[in-house]
Amino acid sequence: MTVSGIGAYEEARSFLRQLPDGARVAVAYHGDADGTGSAALAVRWLERTGRQPAALAPGKGEDLYGDPFADRLLATRPDALLVLDQGSRSRAVLPGVPTLVVDHHDAPAEGVPADVYLSGLNEIPIPSAALMTWRLLAPLAADLSDVDWYGVVGAIGDYGIDAPFPEVGNAKKAYGQKNLSETVALVNAVKRASAHDTPTSLAALLAAREPADIAKGTVPQYAALAACRAEVQAERARCARTAPRFSGDWALLRFASPCQMHGPVASSWVGRLPRFIVLAANDGYTPGNVHFSVRTRRPDENLLLRLRALRGVVGAPELGQGHAQASGGILPRPQFEKLLHALGFAPA
């Protein structure tokens, strides 16, 4: 069954209620602040209702649908699977395993193969995945009021400290804006750092009683989080000095970093080049691949349509995932060169 929108919350709750006591539940999540906040909520709810969670994020260079990550998920011997903030694809992550997908990214026209697909696309404003997870779980048995801030960490991670959701406003009053911002920055840094040690950032959330525990360094994982942040800050400053190249309405920033810098660099330049579509490309993140992010502030631009129109030329059938003004992907270097050629960039 494939369902989406606000009406799917009750179908998703029914899926969760039907999980038997002691069920082993794999939680596949995106390792940024939104996905990690979503996973932390799922872990706490599963623990408090007598299930056994195993939370895993794809490792550096791993794909949600690749064999290495699927093997790690299967090694948990899951009775069910939760897929959180991982994008909406027309493929099953673990065929045959009962699956709930919670996501807020653009969905394929052919649908998402899952027992229940909970999409935020019909909500206004569209919530982050962690906020969707909070709204999904809060009415169910097991009190999660002490960890309501997990969902807000995700919302701020995706939409900023002034994210237009009542939960964000309430959390800023309860926990402090600075503590929330600092927590988001530290959690996001772990995913962007060269080590990509996402289990540590999830462990930090689960160890904290409130955001101040992370922001002020009282959780055991703080030293690792702070080291990741220092590395990421240094790499961001270095890579952001890359000079752009231009082709039509595209601006290309190409660099090499062991850190996941393509998103932050694209975001930092899009404000300086508001008339262009900014493409930040990282040749140094994983061997043989180019990891890239695309951003725009052009109000009528749809990056998904622009990139999907190039799928055949590039030979990348899943090119163009994410959001209308924020997309990206991973391509083997020869395919990425085809993409640049299709955009009109001469070889460097």
For the chain, the maximum distance between any two Cα atoms, rounded to a whole number of angstroms, is 59
Total domains in the fold of the chain: 2
Q: Which residues are bridge partners to 280 per DSSP?
A: 253, 293
185, amino acid identity: A
Strands 289-296 and 24-29: unpaired
- Residue 156 located in a structural domain: yes
Distance CA(117)–CA(207), nearest Å, equals 30
Asked whether residue 41 falls in the same domain as residue 90, the answer is: yes
Structure token pair of residue 116 = 């229940």
Question: Nearest CA to 323 among 309, 303, 339?
Answer: 303
- Residue 114 located in a structural domain: yes
- Residue 2 located in a structural domain: no
- Residue 170 located in a structural domain: yes
pTM tops 0.95: no
Asked whether residue 84 falls in the same domain as residue 195, the answer is: yes
- Residue 194 located in a structural domain: yes
Q: For every one of its 348 residues, what pLDDT tens digit does the chain have, with 9 covering 90 and above? A: 334 444 589 999 999 999 999 999 999 999 999 999 999 999 999 999 999 999 999 999 888 888 899 999 999 999 999 999 988 777 889 999 999 999 987 777 777 888 999 988 888 899 999 999 999 999 997 899 999 999 999 999 999 999 999 999 999 999 999 999 999 999 999 999 999 999 999 999 999 999 999 999 999 999 999 999 999 999 999 999 999 999 999 999 999 999 999 999 999 999 999 999 999 999 999 999 999 999 999 888 899 899 999 999 899 888 888 778 888 899 999 999 999 999 999 876
What CATH number is given to the structural domain containing 292?
3.10.310.40
Structure token pair of residue 35 = 């996905």
- Residue 57 located in a structural domain: yes
What CATH number is given to the structural domain containing 106?
3.90.1640.30
Is the CA virtual torsion 67, 71, 77, 81 positive or negative? negative
Asked whether residue 283 falls in the same domain as residue 321, the answer is: yes
Structure token pair of residue 44 = 């706490």
- Residue 74 located in a structural domain: yes
209 lies in which domain range? 8-226
